Amino acid sequence: MKAPKHNRREFVKKSSLGLMGLTLLPSLAGKVAASDRLRVAHIGVGGMGNNHIKWFAGLDEVEVVALCDVDELHLADSLKTLESLQPGSKVSGYKDFRRILDRKDIDAITCATPDHWHSQIASLAFQAGKDVYGEKPLSYDVKEGQLLLKNQQKYNRIFQLGTQIHATDNYHRVVELIQAGAIGKVHTVRLWKTGGPPDLTETVIKPIPKTLDWDMWLGPAPYVDYIPAKCHFTYRYFMDYSGGVFADFWCHIADVVYWAIRPKGLKSISARGEEADGIANTPKWIDVDYEFRDLKLFWTSTPPDVPGAAERGIGAYFEGEKGTLICDYETKEITINGETVTDIPEIPKTLQRSPGHQQNFVDAVKSRNPSESNLAYAREMTLPMHLGLISWQLNRKLEWNAEKEKFIGDKEANALLSRKPRKKWDLA
Mean pLDDT of 346-354: 97
The residues pairing with 67 across neighbouring beta strands, listed in sequence order, are: 42, 93
pLDDT band at 31 (very low <50, low <70, confident <90, very high): low
pLDDT band at 375 (very low <50, low <70, confident <90, very high): very high
Give the span between the Cα atoms of 79 and 57, in whole angstroms: 12
pLDDT at position 9 over 80: no
User: Residues in the chain, how many?
Assistant: 428
What pLDDT was estimated at residue 33?
64
Mean pLDDT of 15-19: 33
pLDDT at position 10 over 90: no
Kindly report the pTM of this predicted structure: 0.92
- Write the pLDDT tens digit of every residue in 288-341: 999 999 999 999 999 999 999 999 999 999 999 999 999 999 999 999 999 999
Domains of the chain: 8-165 (3.40.50.720), 168-355+374-425 (3.30.360.10)
Give the span between the Cα atoms of 381 and 372, in whole angstroms: 13
- Write the pLDDT tens digit of every residue in 384-427: 999 999 999 999 999 999 999 999 999 999 999 999 999 999 99
pLDDT band at 377 (very low <50, low <70, confident <90, very high): very high
What pLDDT was estimated at residue 354?
98
Average pLDDT, the chain: 93
What pLDDT was estimated at residue 36?
82
Neighbours of 70 (CB within 10 A): 26
**Main-chain phi, psi angles of 307, to 5 degrees:** -60, 130
Mean pLDDT of 137-166: 98
Give the span between the Cα atoms of 294 and 264, in whole angstroms: 8
Mean pLDDT of 27-45: 76
The residues pairing with 298 across neighbouring beta strands, listed in sequence order, are: 190, 289
What pLDDT was estimated at residue 12?
40
For the chain, what is the radius of gyration of the CA atoms? 22
Give the span between the Cα atoms of 111 and 122, in whole angstroms: 8
Mean pLDDT of 139-151: 98
- Write the pLDDT tens digit of every residue in 237-284: 999 999 999 999 999 999 999 999 999 999 999 999 999 999 999 999
Please answer whether residues 160 and 374 qualify as being in contact, where contact means their C-beta atoms are separated by less than 8 angstroms: yes
pLDDT at position 4 over 60: no
